[in-house]
């Protein structure tokens, strides 16, 4: 059995720590490096101890080039500026990349897509298998109900999440829009306040809640006359996201280039 060597960028974050824990029992994946940005207060700490897994002898450091050189695949869960740092290093020595960083602007997204022409990338707003099943169900339900139902997406996350709506909420919105021939850019409604008037007939509405330590909850509401359909996913820990990211890393082993999403990994595309 071949073993893939893994570097985690964003190792001190919530998802980074969940990935370190998920890698512990894996026999086909080995953690070889853990990195953070140069300003992180976690630099120098043992990554295993920080994750609550006990010392693993792999300190968190900021030399991305040296870290990625040891790895077969890099897993990135940071912020857009963190992904930019990772791409700076990866463009010098390409490695397969799994990225769950959300909130990219068009230029940042285009840069990632250019990198994927050289080396395979799985980019996903959410690595949960359950969420990706919900995306597929949203496509099916939206296509079946079409203009007979109003589409609203409600998402809840912890107080420290910095982007809104969540990348997963936007991914659900894109799925509903594509299934019904709509443009999310033209028909999304992100806020309502004051005298808004009647709801535009083909709008896709988003509602955002931030508070406490909520891991993540997403609901797609399709409200028709006389009936409502709800598709809901509630995460109770980050272990499911970490497991999905490791599944993506395994799936990338046989791929040289291209930009993929979790439906590709799960055979749902």
- Positions marked active-site: 157, 161
Q: What is the Cα–Cα distance from 177 to 171, expressed in whole angstroms?
A: 10
Torsion over CA: 193, 104, 247, 266 (sign): positive
Residue 10: DSSP 8-state: T
Give how far Cα 260 sits from Cα of 13, 121, 166, 263, Å: 24, 6, 19, 8
**Token pair of 36 as six digits:** 């953070």
**Residues paired with residue 4 on neighbouring β-strands, in sequence order:** 29
> Given the structure tokens 């799936």, which residue do they identify?
251
Cα 237 from chain centroid? 15
Dihedral over alpha carbons 172, 266, 16, 87 (to 10 degrees): -80
Dihedral over alpha carbons 16, 160, 157, 85 (to 10 degrees): -40
Which run of H or E residues covers position 48?
helix 47-51
Q: Cβ atoms within 10 A of the Cβ of 168, count? A: 26
């Amino acid at each position: 059995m071949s073993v893939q060597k893994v570097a985690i960028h964003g190792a001190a974050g919530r998802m980074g720590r969940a990935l370190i824990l998920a890698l512990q029992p894996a026999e086909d994946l080995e953690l070889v490096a853990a990195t953070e940005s140069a300003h992180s207060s976690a630099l120098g700490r043992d990554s295993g101890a920080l994750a609550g897994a006990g010392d693993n002898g792999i300190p968190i450091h900021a030399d991305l080039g040296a870290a990625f050189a040891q790895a077969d695949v890099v897993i990135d869960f940071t912020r857009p500026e963190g992904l930019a740092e990772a791409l700076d290093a990866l463009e010098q020595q390409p490695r397969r990349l799994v990225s769950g960083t959300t909130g990219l602007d068009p230029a940042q997204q285009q840069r990632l897509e250019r990198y994927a022409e050289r080396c395979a990338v799985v980019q996903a707003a959410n690595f949960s298998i359950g969420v990706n099943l919900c995306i597929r169900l949203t496509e099916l339900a939206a296509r079946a109900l079409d203009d007979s139902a109003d589409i609203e997406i409600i998402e809840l996350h912890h107080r420290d999440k910095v982007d809104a709506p969540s990348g997963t909420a936007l991914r659900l919105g894109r799925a509903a829009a594509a299934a019904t021939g709509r443009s999310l850019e033209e028909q999304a409604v992100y806020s309502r306040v004051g005298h808004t008037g009647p709801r535009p007939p083909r709008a896709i509405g988003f509602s955002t809640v931030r508070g406490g330590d909520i891991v993540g909850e997403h609901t797609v509401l399709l409200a028709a006359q006389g009936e409502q359909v709800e598709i809901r996913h509630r995460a109770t820990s980050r272990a499911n996201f970490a497991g999905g990211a490791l599944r993506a890393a395994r799936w990338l082993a046989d791929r040289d280039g291209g930009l993929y999403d979790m439906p590709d990994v799960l055979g749902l595309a």
